[in-house]
Amino acid sequence: MAAELRLLSFNVRFGRYAGARLTAAGEQIENERIDVVVLQEVMHRAQVKRLQRVMTSFPHSVSHRTGPMVRAGLVIFSRWPVERQDLLSFGRAAARPSLDQWLKPKGALIVHLRVDNQAVVIIDTHLQHNPLGNWSHVNRYTAREQFELQRLAGAIGKLSSDSSLVVAGDFNVPAGSWLLGQFLASHGLRDAMGPSREPA
């Protein structure tokens, strides 16, 4: 029988009032029936500690840090034990990244959990923002998103087929787009949002 897992993905939007948003979000999450929380744009170690203070029923939290900074801004909180973790960095875009892209390089945080004695892999990711809203093949931002999705697909291909897999986060691509469809088809993944066309 498959284990039940309740997961929340949330981009906390780094910037002004981020601390207050984190506290409010953490307090709300603490009172919900959620097993795993995957967060994006948690940029500082102090912000992780702020969340840990209010999300006390989540004994396991995972992030990778360089000094005071959280790498890729990715953090996972879990009520289930963490067996293994890894960070995949997409690297900075070669073609003159903006200041925002330079400060917030993208990647994927990969966590292996044990849920009711079943192996589950959770991937928290945040892809390049496409400020042009143009997902044609000739747009350089689209090309960058495609590259990052290919890197992510490559990492998935190295995982054990015995584990259940959940990939969540801020994809910054439209649901139903060729980009997302290509990524899902690469490993037979299913879009949990179904026919929804909300941003992924």
What is the per-residue pLDDT across 26-70, written as a single tens digit (0 to 9) for each? 999 999 999 999 999 999 999 999 999 999 999 999 999 989 999
Residue 1 within a domain = no
3-state secondary structure the chain: CCCCCCEEEEECCCCCCHHHHHHHHHHHHHCCCCCEEEEECCCEHHHHHHHHHHCCCCCEEECCEECCEEHHHCEEEECCCEEEEEEEECCCCCCCCCHHHHHCCCEEEEEEEEECCEEEEEEEEECCCCCCCCCCCCCHHHHHHHHHHHHHHHHHHCCCCCCEEEEEEECCCECCCHHHHHHHHHCCCCCCCCCCCCEC
> What predicted TM-score, i.e. pTM, was given to this entire model?
0.90
Q: In what order do the strands lie in the sheet with 36-40?
A: 7-11, 36-40, 75-78, 60-62
Residue 38 within a domain = yes
Residue 197 within a domain = no
Residue 168 within a domain = yes
Residue 195 within a domain = no
Range of the domain at 38: 7-186
Structure confidence by residue, pLDDT tens digits, 137-163: 888 889 989 999 999 999 999 998 899
List the beta bridge partners of residue 44. 69
What percent of the chain stands above pLDDT 70?
87
Residue 152 within a domain = yes
Residue 11 within a domain = yes
Q: For residue 96, give the CATH number of its domain.
A: 3.60.10.10
Per-residue pLDDT band for 97 (boundaries 50, 70, 90) equals low
Per-residue pLDDT band for 78 (boundaries 50, 70, 90) equals very high
- Please state whether 33 falls in left (phi above 0), alpha (psi between -120 and 50) or beta: beta
Residue 200 within a domain = no
Domains in the chain, number = 1
